[in-house]
Amino acid sequence: MKTIASELFKEFREHSVSEFFRRNAAMLGYTGKIRSLTTVIHEGVTNSIDAAEESGVLPNIFVAIKRANDSPEHFKAVIEDNASGIPEEYIPDVFGKMLAGTKLHRHMQQRGQQGIGISGGVMFAQMTSGKPARVTTSVGNGEIVQAEVMIDVDKNEGKILDKEKSNGDWRGTRVELEVKDVTYIRSRYGPFNYLRMTAIANPHAQIGFVEPDGTLTVFERATDKVPERPKSMPIHPWGIMSDDLLVLAKHTKSRTIAGFLVAELSRVTKGKVEEIRKLSGVDMNKRPSGLTWEDAEKIVSTFKQIKFMAPPTEGLRQIGAADIESGMRQILKPEFVCASTRPPKVYRGGLPFIVEAGVAFGGSAGKSVEGEAEGEGAETGGLDLIRFANRAPLIFDQGGCAITAAVRSIDWRRYGVDIATAPVTLFVNVVSAYVPYTSAGKQSIADEPEVFAEIRSAIMDVARELRHYLYRKIRTKEKQQRAGIFEQYLPVIARKAAHLAGTEVPDVGKLIEKVAGVKVGGGKETPEEG
């Protein structure tokens, strides 16, 4: 048996994160020819908008997809922004190292969270074309660096193959990725619709897009206000586990467990620390480094018995109802639009989140783009659901998402909407520092009970407003039809009656207006946008 075990373990070796994701690229969204190209664009644009916002500037994003040669499945993807750029020494890590970045360790709302995104795009380009990513970025002091970056998969490291420096007043970052075995189609699941959705949820961004045939589309910004930067939030006691507490204890600068709990967790005061001491029996004067697993379990168990204030939400930045409406008007040109932002709530006991919803009717609202993309099924006509998490579009994996489940749970007939034919676009955005994604691809939200209930409530909020509008619209149409009948027959009756009575023909216009409730002679009432 010992010999067999030795033989089996001859092949035992450690694998890097990059190698794991190279072999399992589908986990990051690189599956199918249309989806893979959209995922490349998504990762680049997500980073660009985040970077611009953190720099305090209105995002100007430029995206181009160009044919690399005569092959129908070989493209060059370009994403450029106007943010502050990247310090030269961080270029290899940003584009060539997975699980490295500025986001994972900060407890605040961000589009990207894991430090995989753009390095995953570089890896996909490298896998399919064998070509490095070409990065151009401003590094400060008027200096611009151009570098070719590839990933050393075995070591999970970025390697600079070539680098040039120049001077200029340009500011930002430009990434060029050459990818093969992908397809560009202007479909529901392609880059065009992804950018269109991004523009709706980010009305402060201007996005220019050049398609492979040279067509230029500019999604203009609908507001000139840069969103306020979210702040990093301490973890709430109700949302922490024993292991989390031990990890925080290793890195704290506090000298006692009491000081550590007050400094590192939200809503913990000296008074609460005394309650924790009495209920848990843990010595609050011990050094945090001396915290044992047993101590941590006792403290976490005690947290659940104590009343704390709700978690802070300064790390969350919702779009806001007014900006959602502006974004939907700018892109969809609807006849009616309304939006709602729900109050902050928590899931899993202490993780804060906010749900926003918007609805648009008429104009370009509804499913206007036919999609055949890989396993998703063709979708034409009727209600168009557009899903977002922290303003980033969720294009794929719609079937397994809590947002989709919430939409399906609603009886739309109560709101006067036939979801099979109505020209309606429904917008839902989930905001959280800890969005419960179902996978590393970040395209679907898990069915957490509290999140599901809030999504459902937000949708019903805007559905009620749509119902009021549709009712007024129907009522106005009925008045106009009634007026048409009176206009057609009442003058004839008046003339006949006047002839028989031997009198002048009366003016029946005012009578028609009074009975029908509309002006005679083409004037129309229109339902107000509620």
pLDDT category of residue 524 using cuts at 50, 70 and 90:
very low
pLDDT category of residue 5 using cuts at 50, 70 and 90:
low
Q: Are residues 67 and 153 in the same domain?
A: yes
Judge whether residue 472 has pLDDT over 60. Answer: yes
Looking at 434, 449, 469, the residue that finishes a domain is 469
Specify the higher pLDDT residue, 67 or 26: 67
Judge whether residue 246 has pLDDT over 90. Answer: yes
For residue range 304-341, what is the model confidence (pLDDT) as tens digits?
Answer: 899 988 887 777 889 999 999 999 999 999 999 999 99
Q: Is the dihedral of CA 477, 482, 487, 488 positive or negative?
A: positive
Q: Are residues 53 and 102 in the same domain?
A: yes
The whole domain housing 281 covers 237-303
DSSP class of residue 142? Answer: T
Average pLDDT, integer, range 284-303: 94
Q: Are residues 125 and 244 in the same domain?
A: no
The answer to whether residue 312 is domain-embedded is no
Judge whether residue 74 has pLDDT over 90. Answer: yes
Average pLDDT, integer, range 17-21: 66
Residue 299, domain CATH: 1.10.8.50
Judge whether residue 370 has pLDDT over 60. Answer: no
Q: Does residue 311 come out as left (phi exceeding 0), alpha (psi in the -120 to 50 range) or beta? A: beta
Tokens for 130? 């064998």
Judge whether residue 39 has pLDDT over 70. Answer: yes
Q: Are residues 253 and 346 in the same domain?
A: no
The answer to whether residue 308 is domain-embedded is no
Looking at 469, 495, 511, the residue that finishes a domain is 469
The answer to whether residue 491 is domain-embedded is no
Q: How open is the CA angle 67-69-185, to the nearest 5 degrees?
A: 35
pLDDT category of residue 31 using cuts at 50, 70 and 90:
confident
Average pLDDT, integer, range 144-172: 91
The answer to whether residue 200 is domain-embedded is no
The answer to whether residue 440 is domain-embedded is yes
Number of domains the chain contains: 3
Q: Are residues 22 and 112 in the same domain?
A: yes
Q: Are residues 26 and 125 in the same domain?
A: yes
For residue range 446-457, what is the model confidence (pLDDT) as tens digits?
Answer: 999 999 999 999
Q: Are residues 361 and 394 in the same domain?
A: yes
Q: Are residues 327 and 431 in the same domain?
A: yes
- Using an 8 Å Cβ cutoff, are 292 and 263 in contact? no
Residue 42, domain CATH: 3.30.565.10
Q: Which residues of 273-291 are buried (b: 16+ CB within 10 A; e: fewer)?
A: beebbeebebebebebeeb
Q: Would you call 159 helix, strand, or coil by DSSP?
A: strand
Q: How far apart are CA 207 and CA 216, in angstroms?
A: 11
Q: Are residues 293 and 353 in the same domain?
A: no
pLDDT of residue 380: 45
The answer to whether residue 146 is domain-embedded is yes
Tokens for 132? 């490095």
pLDDT category of residue 486 using cuts at 50, 70 and 90:
low
Residue 437 has a CB neighbour count (10 Å cut-off) of: 18
pLDDT of residue 442: 81
Residue 87 has a CB neighbour count (10 Å cut-off) of: 12
DSSP for 20-34, please give it: HHHHTGGGGT--SHH
Q: How far apart are CA 510 and CA 503, in angstroms?
A: 19
Q: How far apart are CA 276 and CA 283, in angstroms?
A: 10
Q: Are residues 261 and 118 in the same domain?
A: no
The answer to whether residue 343 is domain-embedded is yes
pLDDT category of residue 526 using cuts at 50, 70 and 90:
very low
For residue range 249-264, what is the model confidence (pLDDT) as tens digits?
Answer: 998 999 999 999 999 9
Judge whether residue 180 has pLDDT over 50. Answer: yes
Judge whether residue 4 has pLDDT over 80. Answer: no
Nearest to 369 by CA among 356, 357, 382: 382
- Using an 8 Å Cβ cutoff, are 80 and 174 in contact? yes
pLDDT of residue 243: 92
Query: 90-104, 222-236, 281-295: which has the highest mean pLDDT?
Result: 281-295
- Please report, rounded to a whole number, the percentage of residues in the chain having pLDDT higher than 90: 58
Q: Are residues 439 and 348 in the same domain?
A: yes
Q: How far apart are CA 341 and CA 317, in angstroms?
A: 11
Q: Are residues 54 and 174 in the same domain?
A: yes
